[in-house]
Chains A and B, each alone.
Chain A
Amino acid sequence: MRKRFSALLNSRMGALILKEFRQILRDKRLAMSLIIPPTLQLLLFGFALNPTVSGLHLGVVDDSQSIESRELRAQMTESKSFEASGMYLSVGDLSKDLANGKLDAGLVIPYDYSRDLERGKPVTVQVLLNGMNSNTATIAQGYTEGVIATYNLGLAGEGLHANFQQVAAPDVNHRGLVNLVPAYLFNPGLEPTWFIVSGILGVLLILNGSLIAAAAIVKERETGTLEQLLMSPASTTQIIVAKLLPLFVLLCMMGLMALTVMRLVFGIPFRGNVLLVVAAAALCLLCGISIGTFIATFTKTARQAQLTLFFINPPLTSLSGAFTPVEAMPKWMQPIAQFNPIQHFGQISRGAMIKGSGIATLWPNFLALTAFTLVLVSLSIWRFRKQLS
């Protein structure tokens, strides 16, 4: 083993690799900038992006002012979903505060609320929701309906509802009710960061891989040292591999650091084999590096390379399913997302870390990721050689 290693070091390729490593490590700032900022980004993204719907500000117009209406109000704000934020005298005042964003929801209880309940007449309360944010609206609607349903069930046991049922209809044909018991697998606490953090790692790998690879190659060209390398007896493939391998190793360290952060800070359970995630991350990195190299062969300056990457990375990110689930995309767009390495990385990292899936279920994603990597790597090497010969 050692013999082989020293043989590699003495070879042409080994010398080139060593040179690159020394060059990078001499510039401590560069090495640090490869590892630290992506990890910080992961932390920021994980903490800042959270789709949970809770603490919605609820304003109430209570025209009934009765025991029953107060009970309903209490029930609405009992859970964490709604937070009582003021009483209003008229619907007009309430809607004004709904419009300027002070309230997220409004509850309007009619003046005949308790009278109708006592008489056994069904009553309707109005719930106004700010529907601007479609996700918040969907979940808040579910909450509201849930609260009202529990409230109705609660009435059943007590005097009022017994009263109500008698008046409404004698209980001749009583049938049982279905009760839903939900159970959340893999993530019983419904920790929202797990989904986002495990997906964003893929975005960061592609983003940083492409930016750094493009910068490294363009820099060599801008300073004119690429010609010097070409005059050396090393082949073009040796040059490009030696150029990119140290970057790859450093970025892999960034990936490992990010995984550590995911485990320690965000508490993502590593239920499956971590090696699967590491392998997928390495493939993802190679994709990113190849994209960067490919772009670098078309551009003459670092500025141009970076501007061009703007046309690639943001669209890739928005079709990645890293922030929001692919299932929420329109049906026609979902197949397009399958052509995105980040999407497959997300499937693998979520599957292997959160669900504990193994290679038996994840192999299609691995196959796709490997195929992308092979295509992108050979494309970039082909471009690089074509340009240099």
Chain B
Amino acid sequence: MRRIFAQARKELTQLLRDRLALGLALILPVVLLLLQSTAISLTVSDLPIVVQDLDKSLASQKLVDAFRNSLSFHVISWPTDKQPDLAFEANKARGALVIPDNFGRRIARGEQADVQMLVDGSDANTARIISGDAEQIIRAFNMATAGASHPEPVTAAIRLWYNPSRSSRKFYGPGIFVMGMSIFPPLLATLAMSKEGEQKTILQVFVSNISAHEFLLGKILAFMIVATGEAIIMLAILFTYFGLQFAGDPTPFLVSTILYMFCVTTFGNMIGSMIPSQVAAMQAVALTGFLLVYMFSGLLFPISNIPASIRWLSNIVWGRYYIEIVRDSLLAGGGWPAMWLKVIIIGGIGALFYLNAWRYLRRMQLKD
């Protein structure tokens, strides 16, 4: 036990001397958390659209006003003799509302009047949002003009649970917290471990009487302490600036956070003991940590959208389970009944990493 603590203290002292690494552990995650959660969002609003009103009747003016008044769009001026898709090419507008010239007459006659919404489809998600918003405006317009004579038989009262303001920050914030935890602690751990191999200081460890378990646990403990520091700083921001709070029982979060810190720092140590080159080990961790967590954990987009042939990968990505737990405890609050299996899986993956790292370091135990 004493040896484990001594090993951990040595690691932390070494880390404190390395300002660059310290900044990487404590400052960069915060910068990224603030930057990414503000920048990453898919819910566009206030998009520029072009209106081509070929009718110029009272009814068409009313419809244009409805679009003008909405928060989703703002109308830009565009000469009527120019094709609206030229505005898309020039990135001036994302949509164009075209009102045909018999619009007002058809409305007055009680017929159905078609209007066209041209949408720039180059960004598919934004295009869907644009046509959804336009349809919403038209529905409201129909209700207002048809008035009391045309009440809708069925209306849907839509309730958004867990994130009623649809704040994308609240959704992406926890995910970016997980990404920070998945990259930086294992990165520092792998640097420290591969450095021992690169500079051959590992030989000194081999000849000392410290066992592989003690050596490994000391390293893991040190970087778990660093990870705790990182987690506390990021959580403080999530709870204050992001306005998040525990939605239910916080214990699944606490338990899984400890297990996850163990899991990722052990992963770093495992890679570090396998690759005795700091730069190569760092790249391996950055690639797996970043790519896997970024793409296969549902951080940005739902996992179910990944084609089935590579979707299975997400089942072995440790970050995926942790993201689900963090989102659940900060937004939904399903608690232990919903999360117990995921907590166990994180622990299991961590144990596998530990066994593997220990296997690589076992050589030192063969001597006795």
- Interchain CA distance A160-B328 in the complex, whole Å: 43
Contact with A along B108-152 (1 / 0, CB 8 A): 111111111111111111111101111110110110011111111
State the Cβ distance, B108 to closest chain A Cβ, in Å.
Answer: 7
The answer on a CB contact under 8 Å between B149 and A174 is yes
Binds B, one of A2-10, A133-141, A252-260, A372-380: A133-141
In the complex, residue of chain B having the shortest beta-carbon distance to the beta carbon of A329: B39
For the complex, what is the distance from the CA of A323 to the CA of B299, rounded to whole Å? Answer: 12
| Chain A residues, CB < 8 A from B47 | 327
Question: Within 8 Å of chain B (Cβ to Cβ): is A226?
Answer: no
Q: Are A129 and B154 in contact (CB under 8 A)?
A: no
Q: Is the CB of A195 within 8 A of B125?
A: yes
> B334 on the interface (CB 8 Å rule)?
yes
Please determine whether B295 and A44 come into contact, CB atoms closer than 8 angstroms: yes
| Complex alpha-carbon distance, A19 and B120, angstroms | 49
Say whether B360 faces chain A, with CB atoms less than 8 Å apart. Answer: no
Write the nearest CB–CB distance from B122 to chain A, whole angstroms: 4
* B contact residues around A44 at 8 Å (CB): 291, 295, 310
Given contacts A44-B291, A131-B166, contact A318 B39 (CB under 8 A): yes
Residues 307-332 of B, flagged 1 when their CB comes within 8 A of A and 0 if not, give 10010000000000000100110011
A325 to B182, CA, bound (A): 25
Cβ contacts under 8 Å, A187 to chain B? 121-122, 124, 127
Excluding A132-B170, A178-B141, A355-B120, 6 further A-B contacts by CB distance (< 8 Å) are A100-B328, A100-B338, A148-B152, A149-B139, A179-B138, A354-B122
CB closest chain-A residue, reference B248:
A99
Contacts of B295 in A (CB 8 A): 44-45, 48-49
Contact A186 B122 (CB under 8 A): yes
**A161 lies within 8 A of chain B by Cβ:** yes
Chain A residue with the shortest CB-CB distance to B107: A176
**Contact at A127–B108, with CB atoms within 8 Å?**
no
**Contacting pair B107 A356 (CB below 8 A):** no
Partner of A310 from the list B28, B41, B106, B150 (CB cut-off 8 Å) is B28
Q: Is the CB of A318 within 8 A of B157?
A: no
A360 (CB) vs chain B CBs: closest residue: B90
Beta-carbon contact of B146 and A131 below 8 Å:
no
What 5 A-B pairs have minimum CB-CB distances, sorted nearest first? Answer: A142-B132, A100-B338, A131-B160, A187-B121, A184-B121
User: Which chain B residues border A263 with CB–CB below 8 Å?
Assistant: none
Interface residues of A (CB under 8 A from B): 41, 44-45, 47-55, 72, 95, 98-101, 117, 122-139, 141-146, 148-149, 151-152, 155, 161, 164-165, 168-169, 171-188, 190-192, 194-195, 215, 302-304, 306-308, 310-311, 314-315, 318-319, 323-325, 327-331, 333, 337, 347, 350-351, 354-357, 361
How many angstroms between the C-alpha atoms of A361 and B85 in the bound complex? 13
Alpha-carbon distance A222/B168, docked complex (angstroms): 45
Stretch with Cβ within 8 A of A (4 or more), from B16-24, B205-213, B267-275: B16-24
**Complex partner residue of A51 from B42, B157, B279, B307, CB under 8 angstroms:** B42
Q: Are A98 and B119 within 8 A (Cβ)?
A: no
Which residues of A are found within 8 Å of B151, using beta-carbon distances?
122, 168-169
Question: In the complex, are the beta carbons of A133 and B302 less than 8 A apart?
Answer: yes
Q: Is the CB of A181 within 8 A of B115?
A: yes
Residue of B nearest to A358 (CB): B89
A127 CB to nearest chain B CB (Å): 5
Cβ contact of A190, chosen from B23, B42, B121, cutoff 8 A = B121
Contacting residues, chain B, for A169 (C-beta < 8 A): 148-151
Query: When the two chains form their complex, are residues B114 and A303 in contact, meaning their CB atoms are under 8 A apart?
Result: no
Whether A361 and B43, one on each chain, are in contact in the complex, defined by CB atoms closer than 8 angstroms, is no
9-residue interface stretch from B29-37, B214-222, B227-235, B256-264: B29-37
The answer to whether A330 touches B38 (Cβ under 8 A) is yes
In the bound complex, CA of A47 to CA of B89 (Å): 26
Question: Which of A53, A131, A327 has the largest count of B CB atoms less than 10 A from its CB?
Answer: A131
B79 lies within 8 A of chain A by Cβ: no
A180, B90: Cβ atoms under 8 Å?
no
**Which of B43, B126, B167 has most chain A Cβ within 10 Å?**
B43
Cross-chain contact B89 with A194 (CB below 8 angstroms): no
The docked-state distance in angstroms from the alpha carbon of A117 to that of B153 is 7
With a cutoff of 8 Å between Cβ atoms, the chain A residues found around residue B89 in the complex are 351, 355-357, 361
Q: Is the CB of B38 within 8 A of A125?
A: no
By the criterion CB–CB under 8 Å, are A137 and B160 in contact? Answer: yes
- A352 to nearest B CB, angstroms? 10
Task: Decide: B153 and A135 in contact? CB cutoff 8 A.
Answer: no
A122 to B148, CA, bound (A): 12
Task: Name B232-287 residues within 8 Å CB distance of A.
Answer: 278-279, 282-283, 286
Q: Which residues of B contact A146 (CB under 8 A)?
A: 132, 135
Say yes or no for B363: interface residue by CB 8 A criterion. Answer: no
The 8 Å CB contact of B43, one of A117, A129, A328, A337, is: A328
Q: List 8 A-B contacts (CB under 8 A).
A: A53-B302, A72-B154, A132-B171, A145-B156, A165-B150, A178-B63, A178-B114, A310-B28
Contact across chains for B337 and A129 when beta carbons are under 8 A apart? no
In the assembled complex, how far is the CB of residue B180 from the closest CB belonging to chain A, in whole angstroms?
10
**Chain B residues with CB under 8 A of A191:** 124
A145→B38 contact, CB < 8 A: no
Residues of A within 8 A of B160 (CB): 129-131, 137, 141
Q: How far apart are the CA atoms of A347 and B88 in the complex, in Å?
A: 12
Name the distance in Å between A294's Cβ and chain B's nearest Cβ: 16
* Complex alpha-carbon distance, A69 and B220, angstroms: 58
In the bound complex, residues from chain B placing their C-beta under 8 Å from that of A354 are 122
A134-B43, A191-B124, A324-B42 known; A347+B332 contact, CB < 8 A: no
Q: How far is the CA of A331 from the CA of B41 in the complex (A)?
A: 12
How far apart are the CA atoms of A23 and B167 in the complex, in Å?
A: 52
Tell me, in angstroms, the Cα distance from A280 to B258 when the chains sit together: 46
B304 part of interface (Cβ distance < 8 Å): yes
A178–B99 CA distance with the chains assembled, in angstroms: 10
Complex CA gap A308/B28 in Å reads 11
Q: List chain A residues, Cβ under 8 A from B305.
A: 50-52, 54
